[in-house]
Amino acid sequence: MENKYIPFCQPMIGQEEIDEVVDTLKSGWLTTGPKTVRFEKMIAEYVGAKYAVAVNSCTAALHLSLLALNIGPGDEVITTTFTFASTANVIVQVGATPVFVDINRDSFNIDPEKIRKAITIRTKAIIPVHYGGQACDMDRIMEIAGEYKLAVIEDAAHAIGAEYKGRKIGTIGKATCFSFYVTKNLATGEGGAIATDDADIAAKAEVLKLHGMNRDAWKRYSKKGNWYYEIEECGWKYNMMDIQAALGIHQIKKLDGFNRTRREYAGIYDQELSKIGGVVIPREMEYGKHIYHLYPILLENADRAEFIEKMSANGVQCSVHFIPLHLQPYYRKNFGLKKEDFPNAQWVYEREVSLPLYPKMSRNDLDHVIHSVREVLR
């Protein structure tokens, strides 16, 4: 076999991004400035939301969304166990209690029926995660949220450009949080944003993202502004830099193209990998448009660790998404979680492997991955 190395993921950075960063460096506006404001407008327009607040990570976006909705001590927030630590860490950080719910085996997304069973008088919010770039069953989640008057904060770290019933993710819940971390579909290195139609949430997040100050550095120091500021809240240092926004304003223009390539590649994987015995390909739910931030396969009878090792020896770097939170020492110990309580997440976790899938891969790379899966499982 040819000597190839295919990393698990790589951002797609073009000359436009490079030129824009250089322009930023020369402009003197390194931190939050006009490019951040421009990027926020582009995000809001892209997802169809009234407001977008750019921050330095999706973790910060989730944290600020909870704070803007006044969720804190004594409150419970329902989320999935099948996610990254951020989703639950921020719930703990505001002083609330995360209540974990199992997933469905077909979409790997939170099971709405199990949300219903987890609701108590203390429940204030639900954080569904659009796993891998596929929307959750939002009608059912919003129906339950409406019935019990719960806020929905979407963790859309994987899902900018994904659709639910013909509508882009970003306007269904009270707030939607995106990640622009280097591995995500739109990459600014580190970065994130809150999209919302709610003026109060946007205003509160805007203040909390920069020390609780009532105006940002751009407004204060530009000719339009002045030297005066007030600390209205005890805020955080979560603002996005213009260096990051410089990447974002070009990445977002290319996003539909990136996602189209991801879907096209996923189609090729689907077709070729479904012919290999013991491989279960991911399912696209009929209600939405999957953007394949991840391409998770399930191995029906192979040893997962051995598979990943052999793929690596073939030059293909794989990963696992996610080690469920109910298995993580902090959550297991502090919230008394047992694997028997999450049979679907446990079942998927034990079999799941994420294959490399990103627009920077060539058709040749894709064929090499397919060929390697076939060889390793032979």
Ligand X SMILES: *Cc1c(COP(=O)(O)O)cnc(C)c1O
Select from 24, 32, 80, 86 the one that contacts ligand X (CB under 6 A).
Answer: 86
Lookup: tokens for 113: 């029926």
Binding-site member from 17, 76, 111, 155 for ligand X (CB under 6 A): 155
Query: Between 24 and 179, whose beta carbon lies closer to ligand X?
Result: 179
Give 62 or 370: the residue with its C-beta nearer to ligand X. 62
Total interface residues for ligand X by CB under 6 A: 14
In single-letter form, the type of residue at position 112 comes to: P
Please tell me whether residue 181 binds ligand X under the rule CB under 6 A. yes
185 binding ligand X? (CB under 6 A)? no
Distance CA 297, CA 132 (A): 11
Site membership for ligand X, residue 352 (CB under 6 A): no
Q: Residue 314: which H helix or E strand, with range?
A: none
**Binds ligand X by CB under 6 A, chosen from 6, 157, 172, 273:** 157
Give the tokens for residue 42: 């582009």
Minimum CB separation from ligand X for residue 165, in Å?
22
Q: Are 170 and 195 in contact (CB under 8 A)?
A: yes
Nearer CB in complex with ligand X: 158/262: 158
Q: Which residues pair with 295 in a beta bridge?
A: 355
Structural contact between residues 216 and 210, judged by C-beta atoms closer than 8 angstroms: yes
> Is residue 27 within a helix (H) or strand (E), and if so which, with residue range?
helix 15-27
**Residues from 28 through 57 that contact ligand X (CB under 6 A):** 57
| Residue span binding ligand X (CB under 6 A) among the ranges 20-28, 150-158, 239-247, 308-316 | 150-158
Task: Give the residue, chosen from 58, 68, 186, 316, that forms a contact with ligand X under the rule CB under 6 A.
Answer: 58
Which residue, 155 or 365, is less far from ligand X as judged by CB? 155
Q: Which is nearer to ligand X, 177 or 370 (CB)?
A: 177
Q: Compute how many other C-beta atoms are within 10 angstroms of the C-beta atom of residue 155.
A: 30
**Binding of residue 179 to ligand X (CB under 6 A):** yes
Distance from C-alpha of 97 to C-alpha of 335, rounded to nearest angstrom: 9
Minimum CB separation of residue 155 from ligand X in Å reads 5
List b or e across 211-243, with b for residues whose CB sees 16 or more CB atoms inside 10 angstroms.
Answer: bbbbebbbeeeeeeeeeebeeeeebbebbbbbb
CB of 343 to ligand X, least distance (A): 21
Query: Of 59, 79, 109, 344, which lies in the binding site for ligand X, with binding defined by CB under 6 A?
Result: 59
Distance (Å, whole) CA 80 – CA 61:
18
Q: Using the minimum distance from each CB to ligand X, give the nearer residue, 81 or 372.
A: 81
On the question of a cis peptide bond just before residue 108, with omega within 30 degrees of 0, the verdict is: no
Give me the residue label for tokens 């491989």: 279
Instruction: Clarify whether 117 is annotated catalytic.
Output: no
Stretch that binds ligand X, among 151-159, 226-234, 242-250, 342-350 (CB under 6 A): 151-159
What backbone torsions phi and psi does residue 108 show, to the nearest 5 degrees? Answer: 65, 15
Q: Given the complex with ligand X, which of 46 and 180 has the nearer CB atom? A: 180
Among candidate residues 290, 292, 296, the one with its CA nearest the CA of residue 163: 290
Interface with ligand X, residue 192, by CB under 6 A? yes
C-beta separation of 126 from 115 below 8 A: yes
Catalytic residue among 124, 184, 204, 209: 184
Q: Is residue 79 a contact residue for ligand X (CB under 6 A)? A: no
Q: Tell me the three state secondary structure of residue 219.
A: helix
Residue 293, CB-side half-sphere exposure with 13 Å CA sphere: 26
Which of 249/370 has CB closer to ligand X? 249
Least spacing, CB of residue 191 vs ligand X, in Å? 7
Cβ-contact 187, 247 below 8 angstroms: yes
- Does position 129 interact with ligand X (CB under 6 A)? The reply is yes
Return residues touching ligand X (CB under 6 A).
57-59, 83-84, 86-87, 129, 155, 157-158, 179, 181, 192
Give the residue numbers marked as catalytic.
Answer: 184
